[in-house]
Structure 1
């Protein structure tokens, strides 16, 4: 109750103590509050800390909860044991009536278990227009007290405030604590409808004899003697009375036929079975089990009148808690339906016919899907005692099962055990009491992957096949929060024909993969290709060292260190054949080292000789002194040999002596980077033709942005120019030809390939250009009979998708064809409404088309078909949690094919 509620409660009534009644003023508010003291006020008459009072009536229809459904929220300040008591109390009401309590999602009116200054208090019935408090104060977190408070929520006031109470009890006013007299006032007849039920001494809504008494042995309410001369007991707080149940069923118009079923298994049948059912029967069964469990419904006998669409006699099964839940099926005739399995912990069954059925509450079961979550019963609250749950998880053939734990807490440990795989768990006698067991297969005899308990979260688990077996066991004593684990189909990306797009080695990891390189190589900046490794510890007596990528340009951001170690009494001599780095001018000469060790970072040759100078002179012959060593351009003497070199603009021929003009063709596969004209930032050479073939991840485009351009100007760029093509080579459509000094606007390809050509003639030379390239998501794609790939982000498989992504793809097929989407991988941040990160599908050429759905978490079904020739994929991510993303294959499919045949 808020302050406004309390003020309303205090002033909006007229009290006549002489007549011992209370008249409630006429208000438009839907609910009236019922305030009561803590438990000690009902059991200890000397406690005056809080007050307890009911003011409301069940005669007003607006206070009855529609459909008997009461959404609830439990505040976070209650412990797991308190939450369990609240749920037990709600299930007690559900067991005996047709009222249903559900966890609140978007409902406007709902109750909130909280703690307010009033102690233990609640509104009587539905207030409407938003949340209403049910306050559970200190010492009130007992089963009977919570059942009592929920009685007020449902619509009942104290039994002793009925207008006819003086015929059944006497109020001893002299024994009532000062200031508490109003708790014993009668309600006005217009506020109350007892629905024809007699006064109920046994009601859980009745005060005890000494409630609010001046002394523990003094009575405040005294029952009148019954026909046997005995005063009936009052004030029990253990369970609903028969009168409570009858009155609640009348208030909510519960069907006379049916029941609320909470047992783990049982057999039920229509009234009169097997002798036939009567006309105009209406029965409702509600089956509810512990959250996290499922229900299997088996029909063993059925003989109902058959009609078109089962319009007349039928049994209807709905997957949830009420008549508006998703329909599982409507059945009639004598053909037995297949077993029905709920997706949650509730089933709603309406009969206008007869059936004999078995409902069995289970945890575990066979799970045949590619991803999902497994939880211990009642998670995240404490699991129930004496539970045995077995899950058999099967994903698509050819995949493995990946298992990752989000939370893990079972009975505390007694011992410290080190498991294989270096997993550390606190355990009790090898997890003898409460535990989770995981096996590599589909049965209890499959190889054990681990038995887990305690508080340490297990490492990720991967099966060797497409099946995994899990068993959760709890004993009858200590219970904890349990576990939550995600399972998914684990694909071996490295088994794909493109080797995961890795140049050398592909290493599969759980939920992803990474590229690696052969010995002597290391990953380049794009994390896929490999380049020669540099540095090392060398003890050979002679050899050669080169900079990374030699004789091509070395890559940026490299730090190479070689350590050369010679035997004792030897020295190391270095000779640089070629030294060309930014801002350095080093002559090629010998670098003798006096000692047995040397470190350096350069391209060099070396030979080792005894420390005597003569040995050094002996092993160095100048081959270049005769006929230039046979070199066309330059001969460079080395220690123990020689080499030929070429002038700028030329490279060495395969015969190692002649020179040929250097090429200027580049293949660029990196996600982003920079390209420049030759000699940048100096003037580019004349008669130069260079090309760059850029490619990025399928489903993405390439964006080129010029940082600077300075080329020979011409109106049509006939002379020196750079031209950009929308494809893999110069035969693709031109996106533009540029020259002069004016920077073009950024240019974006339509696909995942772009070709750039630079040309200079033999006259004017300028500075050239510098441009940045990067992958750009979204664009227009063409669906064909051949299957194509689309990835959520350019670095899919290497990194999670980036934050603040906003991508849109329009996939279009030829006229007369539709688009088929087949999802291979889908992992996006999960949220109930997919409000953070999500993928959205539209059945048309733009986002104004009908929406097929918004997906996150485990994502959409494996196959989706468009109704027309286009489909739109929209992907958005915020700037917080990022996941693996998605990989979808798309193709075209004929409209005349049926959906069934297309799925085949």
Structure 2
């Protein structure tokens, strides 16, 4: 096997291409042109792939390694930057020519390296992978047997990209399945078929299959499927045969144009048991007049599984890269039906996934509608992520029986953005009234300021937005009976993030003593993560001035705090996460001793197995 240095034409295989093995500073830009014999393809197997810098799109301003299915710069097969040591890619070309462009450097801090072994293999010309259209007549996929000995060939990676008819969903059904079984660790890492719900290997992983057990029929969420077959160098078996066809969607219309009237989507066959190995994808389109989406499960009855490892409903923003699981991703499973929840009005996607196990669970039924301006929130806590409409919008926070319970409302402003910054003064922007009418005293007069905290003196707040340009906001509120601005019960059952601050942040009054408790409750199977974004409470003695964090179980309260912070402790940027969905934050301050800005906390409720879910989505 030969090692080929920078800028070479390679026609003899196997071959190795690699970054320089030197210690002095270097930056190299290299191109290798690869040419295989006619009707053969090339397998590029990376044994090392790490650059010192990375960008979202791996642009040429940063180090990157690019693989093309030609000698030119078209037909890009892969684009890599950053550290891929834990998931080294293997690429099979569709043609007999390919090129590798590498910009690599060790001057950005740390170490950078890449190394790839290039070998001859079989490709689409021998039935190994390719782009296939599925029409009215089903097509057949089978494992390649170029040698004709009744078994698939060794050392293959065959990638099929399948495109079906518009408005249909692709179904794959195996009639023969005989592959090498699981390894000693019980994993399908020898020979396997892996099916993705989308156009490429970064799409949601439906499943990885090996051994001799025939997989149940699989229906994707759209007219695209990505199928990968991998074989190693040992134990070739008869392989597989599968039929791929177009089917009508079992999920109903995929595009939902929401209005102010409740609309409903449900799992296939609801209320009868939903089928196994099914995926549904709904795109929620939002009218321009909407400021908020409302979601409410009428029924949620899925197969129970630890941390949603089997069947689940996933809510995510239409633009999001699911590798990163942004803040507005929610996952639900089992029978724990959440309360109604609201979300900022932007295009949304809802995905339903069932695994290969047949069951007798009816599934789910979900109602959706869009809301405009002028409404009232009556819950004891909430996260307001709203689009600000042009004109005048009024929102009231009026908790149920608030007067009788002698409660006040704390409003935590996190983000407040108007498209025209000139609107943020006097009677424009955001106005907040300490009561239920505009005759009540103003707490805020024409502001666009974020990171503000406001507290009512009674059970009501009125928020008035006056805008000619529009914008968006994120605010959280909580109702409390512990005193103005002091504590409260915050629910994260139907949101993944919220904020709370010390009383009157960023100006903590030192003439008042405080004994405040915030009780935080997340969804079952989730973990609450606490991030201190600011902590400045003076330098008084810790015996009378402190902040404690308790991680409780769902059935009992912890007797001692997990941690206690004193006024002189450096707490900003601290992150706490102990894998529990019930957390208490207890703040005590003595009048005349406590002072400063106070503290600001952001909380996240995430699935304990969120990394696993992220891997399933690429």
The TM tier, using the shorter chain, reads 0.3 to 0.5
Give the TM-score normalised by structure 1: 0.28
More strand by share: 2
More helix by share: 1
Give the TM-score normalised by structure 2: 0.38
Larger radius of gyration: 1
